[in-house]
Chains A and B, each alone.
Chain A
């Protein structure tokens, strides 16, 4: 058994039976049952029995819309996964919350070194190089919106500068791995965010571009009206 499997086993043994929006329960017949946390008591769920089924479940929300961010709080309802062992559970969780257990293990080992926002933006190239010009107030507004618990369930581990301050526009719970992001106070396996993700970096580009365009417009005289 690998160390990530051991971590999963010990987490369940100590009662951490939720991860993100997923509830993980043992079955009386043996094996495990994964459902949406809202669906734990339901017996009318569509049951699948392979870890790979998680991929399709995780791809679309209740309305059938594509979910580009797996840690967004819009996991589909109405399904159950019955899996024979922890290896299958781990494989399924890789599709629901990719790399979440690996990041948690790395943090517990002291190996997870979160990357500060300035380092993430500073290493961008090509069309995203311009994001290095994102100002702190712009970052506070952007991250405060996109990374809010209502948009992403991860616990933020990175700061604005190396060893510096956290994003001030988010509540303290956003930075607490022990906080249940579903707000139910359950003991959870954490979803960690070790650095600003590429979805946010991509959204930083139009923010900087718009600010540059506004500054350029303010600096140059208004063009003469045609005709």
Chain B
């Protein structure tokens, strides 16, 4: 976990997707920023979004610090991290020096980092704490497909790492839009208990509304997470199994540590100057 030292004269910018439809998309990014701000490691901590304010273009103006670390709050490398964010923030590589002399350091997204494995394990254990791992099939659900979307690759890699480090009956990555399909969860698994962890940044449309329908928990998409009074009670008895459905991994409070680990990983790889 993170042991980042205070970085005077430095700012941190978290870049989220945001949504014009769903109020639950951006709050995890804000909450992680709150936590990191509380720790006082950076002079300034700010968020920006593709579909909400401030935009990435506006975020170029919010820092007074001379150095800014940019962490994309995205699960995987892909269209957003490789095309949209560099274009909008005018980043030319891992380290960009602007005309005003400020240095912007572009970190990697969270999904591939080793500390994400710890977080997925923690969330999987939290939701079914009484059960022995040997009696659980663990499903890590990613999005899959899409424009230059590597979320499936990241989910698969995390499932492999978890399988090495745990005693779950099986650890399987599956997807909304490509095989193995999460809709076939009962055919993919063998244990009497199935724990499903959505490999998403927020409890937005996909993890809170689409996947429960694919799992058969709901017959049609429900209201947004924030507009439901009570979070779902687990487990559910479905298709002859006990089904446990977690909230999106990006809402885990420990995600702030993953973000700080990404900053530390940048320094390790590219140096601090």
Residues of A within 8 A of B (CB): 2-4, 52, 55, 59-60, 66, 68-71, 94, 97-99, 102-103, 105-106, 111-112, 115, 123, 125-127, 194-195, 197-199, 202
Is the pair B62, A66 in contact by a Cβ cutoff of 8 Å? no
Interchain CA distance A198-B62 in the complex, whole Å: 18
Q: Would you give the 0/1 interface string for B219-242, flagging 1 where the beta carbon is closer than 8 Å to chain A? A: 000000000000000000000000
CB < 8 Å: which of B21, B30, B53, B62 contacts A69? B53
Interface residues on B, range: 20 to 34
Q: Could you list 19 further interchain pairs (A-B, Cβ under 8 angstroms) beyond the known A68-B51, A68-B52, A106-B61? A: A2-B64, A55-B30, A68-B20, A68-B21, A69-B53, A70-B53, A94-B46, A97-B53, A98-B48, A99-B53, A99-B54, A102-B62, A103-B58, A103-B61, A123-B87, A125-B87, A127-B147, A197-B55, A199-B51
Is the pair B83, A125 in contact by a Cβ cutoff of 8 Å? yes
CB distance from B24 to the nearest CB of A (A): 9
Residue from B22, B48, B52, B79 whose CB has the most chain A CB atoms within 10 Å = B52
Interchain CA distance A2-B57 in the complex, whole Å: 21
Interchain CA distance A71-B53 in the complex, whole Å: 9
CB distance from B63 to the nearest CB of A (A): 8
Assuming the contacts A52-B34, A59-B23, A112-B61, asked whether A98 and B84 have C-beta atoms less than 8 A apart, the reply is: no
Does B59 lie at the interface of the complex (its beta carbon under 8 Å from any beta carbon of A)? yes
Interchain CA distance A99-B44 in the complex, whole Å: 13
Does B189 lie at the interface of the complex (its beta carbon under 8 Å from any beta carbon of A)? no
Interchain CA distance A71-B54 in the complex, whole Å: 11
Contacts of B100 in A (CB 8 A): 111
Residue from A60, A98, A199 whose CB has the most chain B CB atoms within 10 Å = A98
Is the pair B61, A98 in contact by a Cβ cutoff of 8 Å? no
Residue from B23, B51, B61, B100 whose CB has the most chain A CB atoms within 10 Å = B61
CB distance from A198 to the nearest CB of B (A): 6
Residue from A3, A52, A69, A102 whose CB has the most chain B CB atoms within 10 Å = A102
CB < 8 Å: which of B21, B54, B59, B61 contacts A66? B21
CB distance from A175 to the nearest CB of B (A): 18
Is the pair A195, B57 in contact by a Cβ cutoff of 8 Å? yes
Is the pair B83, A126 in contact by a Cβ cutoff of 8 Å? yes
> Which B residue sits closest to A71, measured CB to CB?
B53
Is the pair B51, A99 in contact by a Cβ cutoff of 8 Å? no
CB distance from A168 to the nearest CB of B (A): 24
Assuming the contacts A66-B21, A66-B23, asked whether A198 and B83 have C-beta atoms less than 8 A apart, the reply is: no
> Which B residue sits closest to A115, measured CB to CB?
B57
Is the pair B19, A68 in contact by a Cβ cutoff of 8 Å? yes
Is the pair B58, A98 in contact by a Cβ cutoff of 8 Å? yes
Does B50 lie at the interface of the complex (its beta carbon under 8 Å from any beta carbon of A)? yes
Q: Would you give the 0/1 interface string for B35-52, flagging 1 where the beta carbon is closer than 8 Å to chain A? A: 000000000001010111
Interchain CA distance A55-B50 in the complex, whole Å: 18
Is the pair A126, B55 in contact by a Cβ cutoff of 8 Å? no
Interchain CA distance A94-B84 in the complex, whole Å: 23
CB < 8 Å: which of B34, B53, B64 contacts A3? B64
Is the pair B58, A60 in contact by a Cβ cutoff of 8 Å? no
CB distance from A155 to the nearest CB of B (A): 14
Interchain CA distance A69-B18 in the complex, whole Å: 11
Ranked nearest first, the 9 interchain pairs of A and B with the lowest CB-CB distance are: A99-B54, A68-B20, A98-B54, A99-B58, A98-B53, A102-B62, A66-B23, A102-B61, A106-B61
Contacts of B50 in A (CB 8 A): 198
Contacts of B19 in A (CB 8 A): 68
CB distance from A181 to the nearest CB of B (A): 16
Is the pair B61, A99 in contact by a Cβ cutoff of 8 Å? yes
Interface residues of B in 81-105 (CB under 8 A from A): 83-84, 87, 100
Interchain CA distance A137-B21 in the complex, whole Å: 28
Interchain CA distance A126-B20 in the complex, whole Å: 18
> Which A residue sits closest to B224, measured CB to CB?
A66
Interchain CA distance A98-B87 in the complex, whole Å: 21
Contacts of A126 in B (CB 8 A): 79, 83-84, 147
Contacts of A69 in B (CB 8 A): 20, 53
Is the pair A125, B84 in contact by a Cβ cutoff of 8 Å? yes
CB distance from B206 to the nearest CB of A (A): 17
Interchain CA distance A33-B112 in the complex, whole Å: 45
Interface residues of B in 52-84 (CB under 8 A from A): 52-55, 57-59, 61-62, 64, 79, 83-84
Contacts of B61 in A (CB 8 A): 99, 102-103, 105-106, 111-112
Is the pair B58, A102 in contact by a Cβ cutoff of 8 Å? yes
Contacts of B52 in A (CB 8 A): 68, 70
